[in-house]
Amino acid sequence: MGAFIMASLDNGMSMMDVPTFWQYIVKGAILLLAVWMDSATKRRA
């Protein structure tokens, strides 16, 4: 599921001509958000 989201995000940003620098920034931020959300939900359980 995560790979599908990242691939869709990559494809969409490429189609919108987003510079490569910003693509890395956005993908990194989303990855950090996903890790943070995963650790936050595991702490509560």
Tens digit of pLDDT for each residue in 23-42? 999 999 999 999 999 999 99
Number of structural domains (the chain) is 1
Q: Are 26 and 9 in contact (CB under 8 A)?
A: yes
Q: Are 23 and 44 in contact (CB under 8 A)?
A: no
Packed helices 20-44 and 2-15: angle between N→C axes, nearest 10 degrees: 150
For the entire predicted model, the pTM comes to 0.80
Kindly state whether residue 19 falls inside one of the protein's structural domains. Answer: yes
Q: What percent of the chain has pLDDT over 90?
A: 89
Q: Is residue 33 part of a domain?
A: yes
Q: Which is nearest to 30 in space by CA: 1, 2, 19? A: 2
In a domain, 42, yes or no: no
| Residue 43 pLDDT grade (very low, low, confident, very high; cuts 50, 70, 90) | confident
Given a cut of 90, whether residue 44 has pLDDT beyond it is no
Q: Which domain holds residue 15?
A: 2-37
